[in-house]
Amino acid sequence: MICCLCCIAWCAKADRITYSLNTDWAFYRGDYLNGEQVGIDDSQWIPISIPHIMQLEKKHCGGDIIYDGIGWYRRYFKMPYGCEDKRILLQFEGVMNSCEVYLNGKKIVEHKGGYVGFSVDVSPYIERHSANNVLAIRVSAEYDSLTPPGKPQDRLDFYYYSGIYRDVKMVVTDKLYITDELEENNVAGGGLFVTYPEVNAKQATVRLKTHVRNTFQEARTVCLLSSVRDTSGQVVAQKEMKLTLKDGEARLVLQDIEIKSPQLWHPYHPNLYQLECELCDEEGLVLDRRVEQIGIRTISYSTEKGFFINGEHLYLVGANRHQSFPHVGDAASNSMQERDVIDMKRGGYNAVRAAHYPHDPAFLSACDKYGLLVIECIPGWQYFNEEPVFANRLEEVCRTMIRRDRNHPSIVLWETALNETTYPLQVVERIYRAAHEEYPGDQMYTSADYFSHEETEPFYDVFYKQVGHFPKDGSVMTNERDNLISVKPLFTREWGDGVGEKPRVSLQENEYEQMRQCRSRLRQLNGDGYFDWCMLDANPRMGGHFMWSYNDYARGAEEVTMYSGVVDVNRYPKFGYYMMQSMRPASVSQAGLYEGPMVFIASFNSGQYPSATSEIMVFSNCDEVHLYRNGKLLGKQTRKERASVYPWIVQKGGSPSFVFDAGSYEPGALRAEAWLDGQLVKTHEVCTPGEPDHLSIEILDPQVQPVADGSDMIPIYVKVCDKQGTVVPTSAAEITLEVSGEGHLIGDGIRRIGVNPQKVEAGIGYALIHTTQKAGQINIKAVSEGLKPAELSCHTIHCEMHILPDGNHAPFTGDEEQGVVVKDTKWDKEILSHETIVIDSIWGDVGSKEYPLRHTVDGDDFSWWISEADSFPQTVTFVLPHITKVYGSRIRFQKDSSSYQHRVEISEDGQTWETLYEKECTGWDFKPVRFQKHLRYFRIVFEKVSEGHSALAEVTLFK
C-alpha cells in the first residue's frame, strides 16, 4: 500500500524499511547556478518522476540528435518519526552518465558511469525531527572519454541517453545492519553473497556469506538467522549463528545451509527460493532483515558440447537486447523490463546477451523469474582510451557489476571484454583477474572474442568468433570447416545482421521484405552465413548463439533506426519473431507464458508478392503443417521432408520453415494447421487486409498489472483495422489519443516527438502511459478522421512499496518542453540532400565474382566489393565523365568490425593528386564529407585493414 500518514511514524520494533524516491521530483534542463542550495526558487522547475530521461526524444532519433547536456534534480522530504537514531542509505540504480549528489546544500558524493548504480550513507547529512530536507543532484550526460563506454555518441552503435533513469531508494536500518554490496567496496564481500558448492537431486548446499557491520559505540551481541523458504512460504532450511561485534567492527559471516530434495533452477522450470537473513538482538527483536530471491543450480561449459546446467546439456538460443524504448530512451519502468523478458521467452529464446552494458536490476530479476539465461557485459563498443583512469574505471565497473548481480541464477556468463576492441594485454588480464577475484570458484565464466585476439586465450573461459583465419578467398561468406578450431567453449555472440539478402527490415516494408529477412536468416542458421559466425547450427562444437538483435533501436552513428530486430522499437513483432519462436521445442511449455506447439504464416496474403503466391512461408515446431486458402487445401508438408533443406537447424533442435507454392494469388484467408503426434494442436489464420475501417487499442502483456506508484508505465498499441479486425499494414493514418483517470500520456501534445497526435507505422501506433499514485481506472480513447474510434480501460493496483512522502515546497509549475534543445542532424540534411553524380568508370582490383567493383556504386549498402589482393597499398579510383564540381562524398566500408586505414585523394587530370583526408575507421563510420572541389578522379587508397581484405560497400559523390 502507498505510504502516506500511516507510514510517517516509525514503529519502534520495525527493522529495515525501504522507501521509493521515484516520485515528487523537480527537474531543470541545463546547468543552474547553486542548484544544490536549500533556498533557491525552484517553483518553475518541471515536475517529473523517476525513471527519467532529461529530454523526451523522437521515436526515430538516430544521428546524434539526443540531449547530451546538464540537468538538475531536486527532491524534498521529511524523515518519519522515530528515525532519529537510524542509519539512512540512498541507493541509485542508474544515473547517466555522471552526477554530483548534494543533501541540504552539502556535497556528499560524485559518481562516474551510468550502467551500475551506487549507494551512499547520508546519515550525517539528514535533518531529522520532521525538518525539511532537500536532495539535489547535478547530472551530466556530456561526453566523457574516460568513463566506459567512452566513445562519442555520434560514432556509437547505440545511445546511452541521459538522466536518473533507474530507481532511487532510501533504506532505513538499525546501526547494526547487513551491509550494502556497492557501498562497502569489498572484494567478493559486502552484503549477501550466495553460492552452491554442492548441487544434486538429493541435496544442495547454500553457502551464504553475510557481511554485518556494527556502528554503535559499544559492542553488541546478535543472532544471525538465515532461512530459505519455498514458493509456498514454508521454511525448508535455516541456520542460526550467534556473534558479538565490537564497536565499529564489520564481519563476514559464513553459513552453509543444507536443503533436501532441492527444486533446481532451470530456464524451463525457473524454481526460486526466498532467502531471508535476520539480525536479532538478545531479546529477539529483529534489528535488520534482508530478503533475496535465489535459484539453486550449477553450470559448466565444454569445448565439444557447450553449455550444461545442473549436469544437463542445453543449447542456447538467444538474442542481443538493447534497453532503450521510444521517446523515453533507457528510462523505462521495472514493468517494462519484465515485459521484455516475457516477450523474449514467448519468442523462443532461452538466453539473452545484455549488450553492451549491465542492464536494469529489474530486467535481471525478471530473467530469474521467467527463466532467461543472461550474458552480462561490461560497457564498451569499439573503443579504448589509453589514459590510465579509463582502465581504472573499467575495472571498477566490472567489480561493481559482479557485486550487484552475482546472486542472479540467470547470469551464466560474464563478458569482461570491451566489445570488438583491441587494447593492451595487461588490461585484458587485469579485468579477468578482477572478475575471478570477485566471484571465486568454478561458477564464474568470462567470455570474449578470440579471432584476432589470440594472445588473450589464457584470460577468458569461453570464446566467440572461434575461427582460425580470414577465409582464403577473401569472401566473408565463405565457410570452411578447417577454419573451425577447438580452443575453448564456443558461442556466437552476434549473428543475422550485416550480410545476407535482407539483414534489416522495417515493419513499414512489405510482407515479402519481411519474409526475405527470415529466409536469409534460416540459411545463416543452417551454416551459410558470415564466416566468423562459425557456421552456427552447422558447427558441431557450437554451444549456442545470440541473434542481432531482439529489438530495433536508435543509435548515434546513423540517422536510420537499426532495423535488425525481430521486433521493432515498439516491441511489435515482425515475421522474424515467429521464425525464432519455431526454434522452441514443441515439448516445452511454461505455465502462464506459452504452450510448446506453435504455427505462424509469414504472409499478409496482401497481393502478388511471392510471400502470398509462390513462396508462402509457414513457421512451426510441429510434425506436419497443412495450408489452406479459402478452405481449399494448398498442400501438406512434414518436418521430416523439410529437415532435408535445413538439416543442421533440425539437428540442433530447431525447426525448418514450411514453404508452399499456391501458383497464383487469391485474396481471402490463409489458414495453417499444425499437427503433432497425429493430433491437430495449433492453427493460424491471416486475412487479406481490406480498407481501413476502425481503430483498436491493445495493452502489451496485460498479465503485468500496472502499479499505482506514480512512476510505472503502460505500453499501448493502437491498430488501424479493416471491418474484419485485420491490421492494415499500409496505413499511415494520423491518430489522436485521450487518456483520463489515474494515468497520463507520456509526451502528450509535444509535436516535436510526435506522440499525440502521431502517424501510425505499418498500421500500428504506440504510446506509453504513466500511472499516478492512486489506484484506479485509466481510460484510453483513440480517434482518427474517417475511422471508427476505439476505447479501452485498465486498472492500476495499489503499490506495496513504501513511498517517502513529499516535503514542503512551492508547487513545481514548469512545462516538459521548457529549455528543450533541438540538435540538427549533421549530414543527411546538409549533404545527402544534394543530387548524386553518375560514375563513368571504376579502376582497381576487380574483386571476386561475387563481390565485383560495380557493387560499390549500385545504391546498396549491403552489396560489396572485396579485393582479392593481400598486399597494401590498394587503390580504387572512381572516374567522372568530365571535370565536375563535387560538393561532398559518402563512403561506406564493408565490415562493421574491421578497421580501414585509408586516405582519399582527388585529381582533375589523373596525374596530380590532392589529399582530402586520411582516416582510420570501421564500416559504421560512413558519415558524408563536405569538401566542394572540382575533380574528375576520386580515389581511395587502402593502407591497412585490421582483418581481411580491402573492401567497400558503397561510394557516392554529390553535386
Interatomic CA distance for residues 409 and 500, integer angstroms: 36
- DSSP for 681-709, please give it: EEEEEEE---S--EEEEEESSTTS--EES
**Residues 6+ away with beta carbon under 8 Å from 25:** 47, 48, 49, 50, 52, 73, 74, 75, 164
Quote the pLDDT of residue 301. 97
Question: Does residue 121 register a pLDDT over 90?
Answer: yes
pLDDT above 70 covers a percentage of the chain that reads 97
pLDDT at 827: 63
CA 703/CA 202 separation, integer angstroms: 35
Q: Which range has the worst mean pLDDT, 3-7, 47-51, 124-128, 640-644?
A: 3-7
Give mean pLDDT, residues 639-655.
97
Exposure letters 603-634 (e unless 16+ CB within 10 A, then b): bbbbbebbbbbebbbbbbbbbbbbbbbeeeeb
Residues pairing with 673 in the sheet: 626, 683
Q: Cα separation of 845 and 866, whole Å?
A: 9
Comparing CA positions, the residue from 365, 447, 394 lying closest to residue 93 is 365
Mean of pLDDT values over 843-870: 91
Residue 6 has pLDDT above 50, yes or no: no
> Which residues, listed in sequence order, are joined to residue 71 by a DSSP beta bridge?
29, 139
Asked if pLDDT for residue 643 goes beyond 70, the answer is yes
Distance CA 665, CA 315 (A): 40
| Range scoring the smallest mean pLDDT among 24-28, 404-408, 634-638, 700-704 | 700-704
Q: Is the pLDDT of residue 4 over 70?
A: no
Break the chain down into helix, strand, coil percent, rounded to 5: 15, 40, 50
Instruction: Give residue 926's pLDDT.
Output: 67
The whole-number pLDDT of residue 14 equals 62
Q: What is the pLDDT of residues 50-74, one digit of tens each?
A: 999 999 999 999 989 999 999 999 9
Q: At residue 1, does pLDDT exceed 60?
A: no
The identity of residue 826, as a single letter, is: K
At residue 9, does pLDDT exceed 50? no
Residue 214 has pLDDT above 60, yes or no: yes
Selected residue with higher pLDDT from 620 and 822: 620
Output the nine-digit C-alpha cell for 268. Answer: 524451463
pLDDT at 11 (0 to 100): 40
Q: What's the CA gap between 707 and 865, in Å, rounded?
A: 54
The answer to whether the CB of 746 falls within 8 A of the CB of 327 is yes
Cell of 9: 511514524
For residue 402, what pLDDT band results from cuts at 50, 70 and 90?
very high
Q: How far apart are CA 276 and CA 256, in angstroms?
A: 14
35 or 476: which leads in pLDDT: 35
pLDDT in tens, 566-588: 999 999 999 999 999 999 999 99
Predicted confidence at residue 10, as pLDDT, reads 40
Phi and psi angles of residue 458, each rounded to the nearest 5 degrees, phi first: -70, -15
CB atoms within 10 A of CB 367: 29
Distance from CA of residue 282 to its chain's centroid? 47
Q: Mind listing the pLDDT tens digit for each residue in 418-430?
A: 999 989 999 999 9
- Whether the per-residue pLDDT at 2 is higher than 80: the answer is no
Q: Is a pLDDT exceeding 90 seen at residue 469?
A: no
**What pLDDT is attached to residue 99?**
98
C-alpha 717 chain-centroid distance: 21
pLDDT value at residue 401: 98
Lowest mean pLDDT among 1-10, 14-23, 373-382: 1-10
**What pLDDT score was predicted for residue 12?**
41
Q: What is the pTM of this model?
A: 0.91
Could you read off the pLDDT of 190-209 as tens digits, one per residue? 999 999 999 999 999 999 99
| pLDDT at residue 947, rounded to an integer | 79
Average model confidence (pLDDT) across the chain? 93
* Contact assessment for residue 855 and residue 863, using Cβ atoms and an 8 Å cutoff: yes
pLDDT tens for residues 833-856? 899 999 999 999 988 888 999 999
In this structure, are strands 411-415 and 632-638 parallel, antiparallel, or unpaired?
unpaired
Q: What is the pLDDT of residue 81?
A: 82
Mean pLDDT of 127-146: 94
Q: Rounded to an integer, what distance in angstroms lies between the CA atom of residue 903 and that of residue 922?
A: 14
Cα–Cα nearest to 749, from 51, 46, 56: 56
Confidence of residue 898 (pLDDT cuts 50, 70, 90): confident
Share of the chain above pLDDT 90, in %: 85
Distances (CA, A) of 638 to 297, 660, 676, 679: 37, 12, 10, 13
567 DSSP assignment: B
Phi/psi-derived region of residue 316, left when phi > 0, alpha when psi is between -120 and 50, beta in every other case: beta
Rounded Cα distance, 116 and 393, in Å: 12
Which three cell numbers, joined as nine digits, stand for 699?
Answer: 495493452
- Output 281 or 825, whichever has higher pLDDT: 281
Local confidence band at 925 (pLDDT 50, 70, 90 cut-offs): low
The string of pLDDT tens digits covering residues 929-942 is 889 999 999 999 99
pLDDT (0 to 100) of residue 897: 67
Report yes or no: 883 and 940 within 8 Å, Cβ to Cβ: no
Angle at 187 between CA 185 and CA 191, to 5 degrees: 60
Phi, psi of 78 (to 5 degrees): -125, 140
pLDDT band, very low/low/confident/very high, at 924 (cuts 50, 70, 90): low
